[in-house]
Amino acid sequence: MGDSLTISGPRLMARLQTLGEIGALPGGGVCRLALSEEDRQGRERVLAWMHDLGLEVSSDAMGNLFGLRPGLEAGPPVMTGSHIDTVRTGGLYDGNLGVLAGLEAIETLNDAGITTRRPLCVAVFTNEEGARFAPDMMGSLVYVGGMPLEEALATRGIDGERVGDCLDAIDARGSDPVGAPDVHAFVELHVEQGPVLEETGVTLGAVEKVQGISWTEFTFTGTSNHAGTTPMRLRHDAGYAAMATATFVRELVTRIGGDQVGTVGSLEIAPNLVNVVANHARFTVDLRNTVNQQLAMAEQELADFVARLAGQEGIQVERRTLARFDPVPFDPAMVDLVEKQAHALGHSVMRMPSGAGHDAQMLARVCPTSMIFVPSVGGISHNIHEFTSPEDLEAGANVLLQVLLALSE
């Protein structure tokens, strides 16, 4: 059943463009931070589409949204989906593609009059990005029982706002319980967000695993003083220490090599003036590796460096873990299925790890899971110029449809 069904590329593109208008940035791209007014509008749009498609809509206490299409039989659904929150400089596809390709698959089945044996469900998970509220993948993490709801709701964002208050402010707190989902299988379509598929000339990725993620926030406290009169030997310079740590992170990950990456993406110093030694610095370190042992080694070296530096510079250090997830392998049979369906549709496909974090890595805790990747032009993502060709989006969505059909029979 459904072997020759194909999704509508133009309809998928139209929805991507329409959603992309919510929080649109002047030069292109989107700012739709989790639980912002733009997120509220995006949710409203997606919920309207879900209703139009005849889905049974629900939401849980974490604000995750679900559109269920009943099957011939009751029982746990085959689930797909992703997120619609973005980083502050996001593209049109990150997350949005997974949600809207799920809706496109549903509309294709509606048009063909096909009812699957198992129910199908399209999920929109709250705060995947973690750009405003850490950790990333927060909604799916709570959904699978990996973080207590109360802890998530009490989390404060970069603006000091609390998740629970922001959920209420946009009226997104639902009534379904979280923590013990019953899902038959999960598959997520996503843009690769890296250069591998494009550089290899392959259309699709069958994602085998997601690399481990470690986010730490450091706060350094020194002494502000006059930039002209304070001898170097008397300085307790929090700004210098932060920047020395950033340099160390680059040296460290280069030395470790392999898949190790490291980023200092957020840095603030105070009083942030030309002629004052900074007494305060707060910055984040994002470390990732597909091999957990190497990731742990990088974390340890960073901690040792910071302790040594603090002693030498005479500054105080506070550290806070914002996110820590081990690498996640996906279900081999699910990876095989993605590969098989891609081949059956005549597309080139390769097995690959994911460099970015995804809701699928949380769902993998409770059900067989895998992902489908489509190429990102220039390997660019978390950037307003993120782009994937309509042909590749269509290819990915058609494979998603066939994987959903196979899983739901």
Residue ranges binding Mn ion (CB under 5 A): 94-95
* Interacting positions 338-357 with ligand GLV (CB under 6 A): 356-357
Query: 242 with 269: CB under 8 angstroms?
Result: yes
Judged by beta carbon distances under 5 to 8 A according to partner kind, the member of Mn ion, ligand GLV, none in contact with residue 327 is none
Tokens of 335: 């990876």
Q: Which is nearer to ligand GLV, 39 or 136 (CB)?
A: 136
> Across 166-301, where does the E strand assignment appear?
185-191, 204-210, 212-221, 261-263, 267-270, 280-289
Q: How far is the CB of 251 from Mn ion (least distance, A)?
A: 27
Q: How far is the CB of 287 from ligand GLV (least distance, A)?
A: 12
d(CA 295, CA 103): 37
Q: How far is the CB of 190 from Mn ion (least distance, A)?
A: 6
Q: How far is the CB of 129 from ligand GLV (least distance, A)?
A: 5
Q: How far is the CB of 6 from ligand GLV (least distance, A)?
A: 29
359 binds ligand GLV (CB under 6 A): no
* Interacting positions 135-174 with ligand GLV (CB under 6 A): 136
* Interacting positions 81-140 with ligand GLV (CB under 6 A): 128-130, 136
Q: Which is nearer to Mn ion, 125 or 220 (CB)?
A: 125
Q: How far is the CB of 356 from ligand GLV (least distance, A)?
A: 4
Query: 407 with 337: CB under 8 angstroms?
Result: yes
What b/e readout covers 380-389, taking b as 16+ CB neighbours within 10 angstroms? bbbbbebbbe
Q: Which is nearer to ligand GLV, 130 or 375 (CB)?
A: 130
For CA atoms 296, 297, 303, 307, give the dihedral sign: positive
Judged by beta carbon distances under 5 to 8 A according to partner kind, the member of ligand GLV, Mn ion, none in contact with residue 237 is none
Judged by beta carbon distances under 5 to 8 A according to partner kind, the member of Mn ion, ligand GLV, none in contact with residue 194 is none
Q: Which is nearer to ligand GLV, 136 or 198 (CB)?
A: 136
d(CA 72, CA 34): 35
Query: 241 with 222: CB under 8 angstroms?
Result: yes
Q: Which is nearer to ligand GLV, 98 or 239 (CB)?
A: 98
Judged by beta carbon distances under 5 to 8 A according to partner kind, the member of Mn ion, ligand GLV, none in contact with residue 357 is ligand GLV
Phi (first) and psi of residue 351, to 5 degrees: -80, 140
d(CA 89, CA 191): 16
Number of residues that bind ligand GLV (CB under 6 A): 6
Q: Which is nearer to Mn ion, 90 or 119 (CB)?
A: 90
Q: How far is the CB of 122 from ligand GLV (least distance, A)?
A: 19
Q: How far is the CB of 128 from ligand GLV (least distance, A)?
A: 6
Q: Which is nearer to ligand GLV, 269 or 356 (CB)?
A: 356
Q: Which is nearer to ligand GLV, 67 or 357 (CB)?
A: 357
Closest to 60 in 3D by CA, of 212, 196, 175, 204 = 175
Q: Which is nearer to Mn ion, 94 or 301 (CB)?
A: 94
Terminal alpha carbon distance of the chain: 9
232 Cβ neighbours under 8 A, 6+ residues apart: none
Q: How far is the CB of 162 from Mn ion (least distance, A)?
A: 22
- With 0-12 / 13-18 / 19 or more C-beta atoms within 10 angstroms meaning exposed / middle / buried, residue 229 is exposed
d(CA 390, CA 9): 7
d(CA 268, CA 35): 24
Which residues of the shown chain bind ligand GLV in the complex (CB under 6 A)?
128-130, 136, 356-357
